[in-house]
Amino acid sequence: MQKHNQKEHLYKLLVIGDLGVGKTSIIKRYVHQNFSPHYRATIGVDFALKVLNWDADTVVRLQLWDIAGQERFGNMTRVYYREAMGAFIVFDVTRPATFEAVTKWKEDLDSKLVLPNGKPVPAVLLANKCDQGIDVLMNNGIKMDQFCKENGFVGWFETSAKAHVWHMDFHLSPAGMRDGHL
Ligand code: GDP
Ligand code: MG
Q: Are 1 and 52 in contact (CB under 8 A)?
A: no
Q: What is the 3-state secondary structure (H, E, C) of 119-150?
A: CECCEEEEEECHHHCCCHHHHCCCCHHHHHHH
Q: Is the pLDDT of residue 2 over 70?
A: no
pTM: 0.84
User: Which residues line ion ligand 2, judged by CB < 5 Å?
Assistant: 24, 42
pLDDT band at 170 (very low <50, low <70, confident <90, very high): very low
Where in the chain does DSSP place strands (E)? 7-16, 46-55, 58-66, 86-92, 123-128, 155-158
Q: Is the pLDDT of residue 67 over 80?
A: no
pLDDT in tens, 96-147: 999 999 999 999 999 999 999 999 999 999 999 988 876 666 666 678 899 9
**Interface TM-score (ipTM) > 0.85:** yes
CB of 162 sitting under 6 A from ligand 1: yes
CB of 39 sitting under 6 A from ligand 1: yes
- Closest residue by Cα to atom 12, ligand 1, is 22
Which of 29-43, 69-83, 90-104, 113-127 shows the lowest mean pLDDT across its residues?
A: 29-43
pLDDT at 136: 66
CA distance 68 to 44: 5
